[in-house]
Amino acid sequence: MTTDDPVSRMAQAWTTFDESLRSGNGFDDTAYDALAAALRACAAEWAELDAVPRLGANVLVDLFPATAANAALYGGVDADRVMRAAYELHALAGHCVALRQGPGRPR
């Protein structure tokens, strides 16, 4: 994978977003937007695939639990914002692995 493919962009965006939260620097809107865009790009690219790349799967597995755990580092509205982001990222991850519908495919 190159550094410009969707999976690499997603992994880099995830690292940037997660590190900002984990280090106590707060919610990085730019990093979040880049991560959401990268997840949408991966969902589009993977729509017809039967499997996702290993690096992509690694990121998808970590998105919700790591973001939710980071919310505990904050309080009040900041913690609420991080938890909202965790659920939004979880939904975007779901789009990345959604089964396409068609003959012989579960709905």
- Using one digit for the tens of pLDDT, what is the confidence trace for 48-83? 899 999 999 999 999 999 999 999 999 999 999 999
Percent share of the chain, pLDDT over 70 = 92
Average pLDDT of every residue of the chain: 92
Confidence (pTM): 0.89
> For residue 107, what pLDDT is reported?
46
Contact (CB, 8 A) for 106 and 98: no
Confidence label for 102 from pLDDT (cuts 50, 70 and 90): low
Residue 37: φ, ψ to 5°: -65, -40
- The DSSP secondary-structure symbol of 25 reads -
Gap between the Cα atoms of 15 and 9, Å rounded:
10
